[in-house]
A and B are shown apart, each in its own frame.
Chain A
Amino acid sequence: MAVKNILKVENLAFVRNDLVQFEPISFVLSLGESLHLEGANGSGKTTFFQLLIGMLQPSAGKLYFRDQLFKDCRFEYLSDILFIGHQAGVKSALSVEENLRWMSPDNTTPKQITLALKAVELAHYANIPCHNLSAGQHRRVALARLMTSNASLWYLDEPFAALDKQGVDFIESCMQNHLEKGGSIVFSSHQDLAKMAARRYKLTPFQEQS
């Protein structure tokens, strides 16, 4: 039987400084599906991503990747995800091209890199150190990884922050493309997407049950 759901989250909760961060999260994500995380500032979206990528250990609840517990398939899981957070690992002393090269998989060809840079409209900046770029361009360098990655599960924490209108359009079509190829996406954003249909999930503050 083929596995349909790529990610399953069961009653995931996280406690920090004796405070429960959000109402326990449960959802199932199928192949070719995307999930739009919503929530006010400080509602725990970034914390949730940190739990998903295993940087933080959940206080309760379980995470399954292709119907296997995370800790039983660490290697397979980590080889198949792409995470781009607020700080995406762009080194400001390196040039745009060098940044993309070291963040991409080992077997990425120079042609793929050029194509990716062209797609995010940074082809003319390929040899410019990243500290000379604007915040939006910085973001584009990080998001160019969407073009070179072969991971099937994308985690994007606020991918549209600092991007201009064309940038948002481009990333949306990139995500759409990925979904059509059978990939899955979990992303957080404060804005509604124009093109892409995505299931929504709202993070709510924890309510004490009496």
Chain B
Amino acid sequence: MSNFISGGFKAYLYRDLLLSVRDKTDLVKPLIFFLLIAALVPLAIAPEAQRLAKLAPGLIWMLAVLATMLSIERLFSDDLNDGSLEQMLLSPNLLIMPVLGKVTAHWLVIGLPLTLLSPVIGIWFSLPSVAVIPMMLSLVLGTAVLSLIGAVGAALTLPRQGGVLLALLVMPLYMPVLIFGSATIQSAVDGLNWIGPLAMLAAFLAIAIALCPLAITAGLRLAKNG
């Protein structure tokens, strides 16, 4: 019975990680995008440390949101095309665990590297060093929420590959994460207490882990039934 609940998480996590290691474009594209835009901002706006530092919290979070959204649309469409989604739905076990495994793999491939790269971008934007730790913490929690919500959108837009519809579906739900994420960094820059907005992000993550897999599984079943 333990297999009924936990079965599939490790298998799908491992498989999806392996797939992204093999097909590196998936892995590298969003990160290159993230770095490229970040490199353009100082050139396009002004290389003045003060002005950039003001923009930094919002910009870093905007980039994180866009990079996640670009990469999430293929989360299920490849599986649908080669039939492995069907095999996943045929598993007698609870579908939530394979789904969580896939989303976790996505976060490990996108969210975690973005978080680890963010201090570099902080330096480019001359972000005060006190804000670096809050920024990384907010990104760790926030990108996980973005992956979970994005996966709901990806499941609902099957059998087509997301695109504009995915953006329209997911963007409103990304707003709170964006707001509290940049608020965490901004508070740290301003020398205020940044635990508050960060706790909000943690709360979002708790809600998303509980609810998103249910919505994703429902969306996947709908895609196959339709």
Contacts and interface: CB of A to CB of B under 8 A. Distances in A.
A198 B153 CA distance: 45
A197 interface: no
A102 B86 contact: no
B18 A98 contact: yes
Interface in B7-48: 7, 11, 14-15, 18-19, 22-23
A44 interface: no
A106 B7 contact: yes
Contacts, number: 63
Nearest to B14: A102
Given A81-B90, A83-B90, A94-B18, A88 B83 contact: yes
B15 A89 contact: no
Contact of B225 (A57, A85, A103): A57
Nearest to A53: B90
**Size class of the contact patch on chain B:** 20 to 34
A56 B222 CA distance: 10
Contacts of A92: 82
A2 interface: no
A98 B84 CA distance: 14
Interface string A135-152: 000000000000000000
Given A81-B90, A94-B22, A55 B82 contact: no
A55 B83 contact: no
Interface residues of A, number: 27
B92 A91 contact: no
A78 B87 contact: no
A10 to B, nearest CB: 21
B194 to A, nearest CB: 41
A93 interface: yes
B54 interface: no
B82 A89 contact: yes
Contacts of B169: none
Interface in B71-96: 79, 81-87, 89-92
A78 B18 contact: no
Nearest to B79: A89
Contacts of B82: 87, 89-92
Given A56-B225, A86-B83, A91 B19 contact: yes
Contacts of A78: 90-92
Nearest to A103: B87
A74 interface: yes
A205 interface: no
B86 A89 contact: yes
A84 B81 CA distance: 14
Residue from A75, A91, A103 having most chain B Cβ neighbours under 10 A: A91
B4 A89 contact: no
Contacts of B19: 91, 93-94
Interface in A55-92: 55-57, 74-79, 81, 83, 85-92
A74 B91 CA distance: 10
Interface of B: 3-4, 7, 11, 14-15, 18-19, 22-23, 79, 81-87, 89-92, 224-225
Interface of A: 53, 55-57, 74-79, 81, 83, 85-94, 98, 102-103, 106, 129
13 contacts: A55-B86, A55-B89, A79-B92, A81-B90, A83-B90, A86-B83, A88-B83, A89-B82, A89-B86, A89-B87, A90-B83, A103-B87, A129-B22
Given A57-B225, A88-B87, A93-B23, 18 more contacts: A56-B224, A74-B92, A75-B92, A76-B92, A77-B92, A81-B90, A86-B83, A88-B83, A89-B86, A90-B83, A91-B15, A92-B82, A93-B22, A94-B18, A98-B15, A102-B11, A102-B15, A106-B7
